[in-house]
Every structure is written in structure tokens, then in C-alpha cells.
Chain A
């Protein structure tokens, strides 16, 4: 029995080796191999990283591609190696496996969502620059949606029921309302004016411009002054009040803690208190998305409670009802209590002195 098992294992090992050698021989066909381990993408990118060689349609930005997980598994993971046969004369897109092969869970979510059948993964994601949720800012999430959903049309349809619809659409990633998540966090990114100085529209600040502002140092050093890769409230206040950073502002977005592809219209999002009511520990977790050279963002944790502070931690991020400051609540209560002093205190003395006043009044009569 043992001998029979050993024979079976040996046979399988030989069969696998043979299959492996055959595959390698095929992959390193006439001049268009996918490259060896380290440079699986190398040969493809020789041409596809130059738009003048392959045209804009087949151009792959190497800077944005190389950091992706897709680059790590390499071109042959998705593209059939038959591309080598008549390539580049044969320009047929060769796909060996689609996204579902690896992203099974996401495909399951998506198939049940309201997007199913309307577009495929490529409709929103470019697989050659696919970033993880941690690598993008809320601003980028909405840019994906805007590919199909016209900004003005969406604003108009939301304005039918949503107060300040334009503000909500600018300040929230669509997925905050249109996918489900148990928890939400605040993601902040740096904005500055584009175009005309002092008049241009505020947009997300890019890597190069922030690098210049930082004097060539790491962009994060603009905020994280002690370099511990963690942003304290004191550092945040300092960034927001530092006149050297006058043109830079932090824009916050409430984003789902867990990003899913279960796109849907959720009725409970029409109840404003879904976002605007405070609860225990509400809005305690926040991050700052710092742009990286490769087009992604690095998310850096911020000390708890940043958006709940009265003024300087996030001077321009305020969600009515949700991010109210508890100290201001107490001051307000004291002011109102002050207004009660007259009715309560004076009223009490008025009651005690009623006999004196009545006697005096009768005396006058």
C-alpha cells in the first residue's frame, strides 16, 4: 500500500514538472516572453510603457502600475501567453483569466448590486493602475463614479430630497451612502487652489506641488513634524494655523471603514440622522491621505477626536449634529442657564416679597 502511494506521488511530481517545463518553454516564445520572476512585466512594458509605440489605448503608466498587486503577479497572470504568437502584429486582447478568478468575493457582492450587468470591473477600474482602498482618497472614489454618473444630473436628482445636495456630493464619496458598512471613518486630504492664484477652484493637491511646499522633504513632514508617522492633534492644529501653509486646507470625507462593491440605494441613508446624529465614540477615527509619487495615497493615522475638536484640528470639517464639540455644548448650556437666573432668582424673591409689594400698592391707592 505504501509503495503504491509513493509511486502515485512520484508520478504526479513528474507530471507537474513536465507541465511546468512546457509552460515555461511556451512563455519564452519568439521574443515576447513575460519575463522571469523579478521582471515578469519587463518585456511587455518595454513597449506598453511608451505611448508613442502602442498608442494611448494600450499605454500602461509604469509608475502607476509597478506598485500594484497586479504588477506583482505579472502580466501572464491575466493575459494568455498566446499573445506571443503573432504579436505585435496581432493586436487582439488576450485574456486568460478575468477579475473574478482572484476577486471572487467582490464579484459575488457586485453580482447582487445595482451595478450588475450595467458595466464590468473595467468600467470603473483600470487594472493597470488598480489601487487598494487604502491607497486612494475619497476624492478619487468619486472620480470613478463620475465616469458614468453626470455630476449635474446626480446633484439635481439628490436635490429633490437632500438639503445642500451639492455640498453632500462634493464632500462624500458616493459609496458612503450607496454601499453598506458598519463603521465609518474620516479621511482627509490636502486641497489647494488650481489655476488662477487666489481665485482658482480648490482641488486635491498633487504630489509635485506638495513636495515643493515641503521644500523637497517628505510631504508628510508638513503635518507630522516629529516624523513618527502619526499625526497628533497638536501637529494638526499647528498645520492648520501655520501661515506658511496658508494656501493649503484639509478637506474631510466620511468614508466607509470597509469598502465593498454592494452598490445599492439604501433607504436608511435618506434619514439624515444616519450621518448627522452623534453616538458613543462617533467620528473618533480619522486619517490623512498623503499623495505618493506613484499616484496613490498613503493613509496616516490621526489622534482620536480630531474632528470633534472645537476649532483648529479640522477647522473646515463639520457635520451638523455629528461632530459637535462637547465643551461648546457645556458653554451653551451655561449661557442658557444664565438666562434662567432672572426668572428663577428674581421670581423667587418676587414671590417672597409679595406681601410687602401688596401693602405698598394698597397704600398708594
Chain B
């Protein structure tokens, strides 16, 4: 039987941020569907309720994003280390991780990545989060702020190419984040138990099975 080593992977601020984001983003997706397709989806009673909820959730997620950014870049000072793939990741790690997820996993081979508090994410996670946190989230938040304040920000909206450009960027970025959500939730089930990663994001402690040899001892999945 395997040993059970526990590592403290997710500090409290990160967990609060994660679940706040999760609630906010799910609310934004559902209200967003009603706002864009009101004749097909009436989830929150009235269109006005959907708008008010969307705006509130948007502000919370945008603030939460700002807090995350400052926490990692100012306080934790390991933003780049955690989120930006290094040369080794790009040269070898990324392909190795893709090979694991899409091939070796089905043969019961272990995950080549070993998560530590300073190196939480595998190269695939790093690439995905880089695109999400540094491209999609800023786009969706900024365009959302513009769309919420059309009259006061009229000049900037015209300079950006008009309302339709902003709406298109907001919508496509939101769809991309929505698409990622499915993959993200699915990949959380690839731990040694289907809920292992979800539990660790709730408690902060990640359970490791066994030790010594990375190739054989690590559980199969790491969430993206």
C-alpha cells in the first residue's frame, strides 16, 4: 500500500481567489448566455436581473483578478516562475506533457510532472494559464468595463473601434474562457481519485501517493 505524503500546495488567499473566481465565472457564463440569447434562455427571471448580476459578478472577478495579480507579483514574487513556461518547458516539457495526457495516460503511465508549491503547474498548465490570465482575462475584464460604462467611456470606445469591436472581443474571449472551463473541470478528475484535486483546492493540502521515484510514484493527473 502506498504512503500518504501531504504537501501544502494552495495557500488560503489562492484558494479564496480560486473559489470566488469559480462562482463569479460560472455566474458570468450563465448570465452572459441570457444576455446574448434572451429569447432562448431565461435563467435569472428577467433580463434586467441578468444584467445586474452579470455586472456585479464582472466587477468581483475583475477585482479578484487584480488582487491575484498583485498578490503573485508583489507579495509572492513568483508570478513568472509559476505561470510562465521556461525554456526547458517549451523545449521538452510541453511535448512530454501532451504525450502523457493524450497517450501514456491511457496505458497507466504516471504523470511526468511533480507539483511543488514553487512549481505547481506542468508545462501545459503554464501555457494554458498564461493565455488565460495574461490575455483572455484582461481582454474580457477591460471590454466588460467599457461595455458597462458606454456613456462615460464613449471616447475610448470610439478610439477602440466602436461598440461592436468591444462586444466581439468580449464575447469571443468569454466563449474561450467558457470552453476552458469544461477542460479545466474535466482535468481536475484526473487525480488519483476523481475529487482529489478539488479537495486539495478546498483544503490546500495535496495528497501524494508514495515517493522516491517520480516516474512511478506520482498520481496520474494534474489539473489544468
Binding site for B on A (CB under 8 A): 161, 163-164, 166-167, 170, 202, 249, 271-273, 276-279, 310-311, 314-318, 320-321, 324-325, 328-329, 331-333, 335-340, 342-343, 346-347, 349-350, 352-353, 356-361, 364-365
Cβ-closest chain B residue relative to A275: B47
Cβ–Cβ contact A342 & B183, under 8 A: yes
Given the interface pairs A164-B151, A335-B179, A338-B179, the reply to whether A356 lies near B38 with Cβ below 8 Å is: no
Cβ–Cβ contact A310 & B151, under 8 A: no
Residues of A within 8 A of B108 (CB): 353, 356-361
Chain B 181-215 near chain A by CB (<8 Å), digits 1 or 0: 11101110000000000000000000000000000
A170 to B172, CA, bound (A): 28
B168 contacts partner chain A, Cβ-Cβ < 8 Å = yes
Cβ–Cβ contact A202 & B154, under 8 A: yes
A357 to B2, CA, bound (A): 17
Residues of B within 8 A of A276 (CB): 38, 47
Cβ-closest chain B residue relative to A313: B164
Q: What is the number of residues of chain B that contact chain A, defined by CB distance less than 8 Å?
A: 50
A272 to B48, CA, bound (A): 6
B1 contacts partner chain A, Cβ-Cβ < 8 Å = yes
Given the interface pairs A272-B47, A328-B168, A346-B102, the reply to whether A315 lies near B183 with Cβ below 8 Å is: no
A281 to B40, CA, bound (A): 16
Cβ-closest chain B residue relative to A162: B48
Choose one: A316, A339, A346; the contact of B180 (CB below 8 Å): A339
Given the interface pairs A331-B172, A357-B107, the reply to whether A316 lies near B163 with Cβ below 8 Å is: yes
B176 contacts partner chain A, Cβ-Cβ < 8 Å = yes
Cβ–Cβ contact A167 & B55, under 8 A: no
Chain A: minimal CB distance from B183 (Å) = 4
Cβ–Cβ contact A332 & B171, under 8 A: yes
A358 to B105, CA, bound (A): 12
Q: List 7 A-B contacts (CB under 8 A).
A: A271-B47, A273-B39, A277-B38, A315-B165, A332-B171, A339-B181, A357-B107
- Residue from the set A164, A271, A310, A333 with the largest chain B CB neighbour count within 10 Å: A164
Given the interface pairs A249-B158, A336-B178, the reply to whether A360 lies near B164 with Cβ below 8 Å is: no
